[in-house]
Amino acid sequence: MKRIGYYNGEMGEVSTLRIPMQDRAMFFGDGVYDFVFACDGKFFALQDHIDRFFRSMSMLEIDPPCTKEELAKKLQMCLDASESEGMASVYWQTSRGNCTRNHIFPPEGTPSTLLITVSPLKSPDWNRPLKLVTTEDTRFAHCNIKTLNLIPNVMAAEKAEKNGCQECVFVKDGLVTECAHSALVILKDGCLIAPPLDERILPSITRMHVFAMAEKLGIPSQVRKMTLQEVLDADEVMVLSTSKAITRADTMDGKPVGMKDDNTFMKLREAYFAWIEADTGYRM
């Protein structure tokens, strides 16, 4: 497939596009983003991601670059141009605009920007458990907004890489929040448990889907504060994200975790894969 890029009306191979030097994304990370995957040219749960993208813009008082309907058409246009087969990742972001560097908002009437990229997405080995490492959560109190400000996440992801792990878990005052680029939930005694959504946690689309599936399957659930020790003692530790879907972990900081409730885990994962297949026609 082709790696397609789009910026403010221009579309082509990613390597051929150029972004103006005064885009506020570069100066301040003054923007928001979202990401979705597609299977054989069809998006999965696109509207959920677009809705979250517009919520993020609203919380930062960024004027949308287009309507939700127009955005969906632009994303499909880029996906079609990529001639993708199998799984593809589609990323998009907006910044507050192009203007002379200044901390205050740009002059009234400055249009926000829109950037889109389409790239191949390698399907993970769904049966291979993840290895996790923890780190202190030092992020600011806007984690519920999907902003471009991701330096703590970058550092956490690098810590995972250096420790031979696939994800890093943020811990604040002994409480688990989320991972560097995923949500974290556990199963204990047949119950799905996740930390409350507040300013420290991004409202994960996959997490929302998993809770909806748990309700349909009759699996009880709780949303409450979750300690690191509870995660270590859980029957299953699950990492949820658009790219990872529902993946279990078997170690954290080198200690064995989870892998004790195969039946409930498989119920959730199979229901999620069935949803993807029904929505896209693609078998995971």
As a whole number of angstroms, the distance between CA 227 and CA 67 comes to 41
Q: What is the pLDDT averaged over residues 212-231?
A: 97
pTM for the model stands at 0.95
As a whole number of angstroms, the distance between CA 258 and CA 261 comes to 8
Active-site residue (options: 42, 146, 225, 244): 146
- Collect contacts of 272-278 with beta carbons under 8 A, ≥24 apart: 272/209, 272/210, 272/213, 272/245, 272/246, 273/245, 275/209, 275/213, 276/39, 276/44, 276/245
* pLDDT computed for residue 87 by the predictor: 94
4-120 folds as D-amino Acid Aminotransferase; Chain A, domain 1 (3.30.470)
* pLDDT computed for residue 162 by the predictor: 98
The answer to whether 187 and 264 are in contact (CB under 8 A) is yes
pLDDT-derived band of residue 123, with 50, 70 and 90 as boundaries? Answer: confident
146 assigned to active site: yes
The answer to whether 262 and 238 are in contact (CB under 8 A) is no
Q: For 177, phi and psi rounded to 5 degrees?
A: -105, -70
Mean confidence (pLDDT) of the chain: 96
As a whole number of angstroms, the distance between CA 160 and CA 155 comes to 9
* pLDDT computed for residue 267 by the predictor: 97
* pLDDT computed for residue 128 by the predictor: 95
Which CATH architecture best describes the domain 130-280? Alpha-Beta Barrel (3.20)
Convert the pLDDT of each residue in 58-82 to its tens digit: 999 999 999 999 999 999 999 999 9
**What residue spans define the domains of the chain?**
4-120, 130-280
Is pLDDT above 90 for 161?
Answer: yes
